[in-house]
Amino acid sequence: MRRTIAELYDLFNDLGRRINFFDKEIDAVFRQSEACQRIAKVKGIGPKTATAVVAAIGKGTEFKNGRHFAAWLGLVPRQHSSGDKQVLMNMTKKGDKHLRTLFIHGARAVVRVATNNNDGSLHQWVNQLKERRGFNKMTVAVANKNARIIWSMLRKDTEY
> Each residue of 31-67: pLDDT tens digit?
999 999 999 999 899 999 999 999 988 888 888 998 8
Give the separation between CA 11 and CA 33, rounded to whole angstroms: 33
pLDDT for res 114: 81
User: Binning pLDDT at 50, 70 and 90, where does residue 133 land?
Assistant: confident
pLDDT for res 85: 63
Closest CA to 123 of 43, 11, 69, 54: 43
pLDDT for res 15: 96
Asked if residues 27 and 34 have their Cβ atoms less than 8 Å apart, the reply is no
% of residues, the chain, pLDDT over 90 = 46
Asked if residues 69 and 60 have their Cβ atoms less than 8 Å apart, the reply is yes
User: Binning pLDDT at 50, 70 and 90, where does residue 78 land?
Assistant: low
Question: How many CB atoms sit inside 10 A of residue 145's CB?
Answer: 22
pLDDT for res 120: 72
Asked if residues 26 and 51 have their Cβ atoms less than 8 Å apart, the reply is yes
pTM above 0.85, yes or no: no
